[in-house]
């Protein structure tokens, strides 16, 4: 099961991880919402369907080379 497939708290219990963290950065899944936290400064709650659209855009090949 993918985190984006969770519709209830019971579904999140079937995941091996409900969130991940690195240093001060954390992302946590709760039913209908994704929480992104930069400790101790900020926390953002994003509806799951909106977060999924953001992630799909971020991972989608834009067909043009990105120049950094």
The tens digit of pLDDT for each residue in 12-28 reads 888 888 899 999 999 99
**Of residues 53, 49, 46, the one with CA closest to residue 5:** 49
Sheet holding 42-47, edge to edge: 19-22, 25-30, 33-38, 42-47
HSE (side-chain half, CA atoms, 13 Å) at 32: 1
Q: Which residues contact 52 (CB under 8 A, 6 or more apart)?
A: 4
pLDDT category at 66 given cuts 50, 70, 90 is low
What pLDDT, on the 0 to 100 scale, is given for residue 7? 79
Domain-wise residue ranges, the chain: 3-59
pTM over 0.75: no
Mean pLDDT value across the chain: 87
Neighbour count for residue 29 (Cβ, 10 Å): 20
């Amino acid at each position: 099961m993918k985190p984006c497939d969770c519709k209830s708290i019971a579904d999140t219990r079937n995941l091996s991880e409900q969130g991940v963290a690195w240093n001060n950065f954390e992302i946590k899944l709760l039913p209908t919402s994704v929480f992104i936290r930069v400790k101790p400064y900020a926390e953002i709650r994003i509806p799951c369907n909106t977060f999924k659209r953001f992630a799909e855009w971020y991972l989608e090949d834009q067909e043009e080379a990105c120049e950094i």
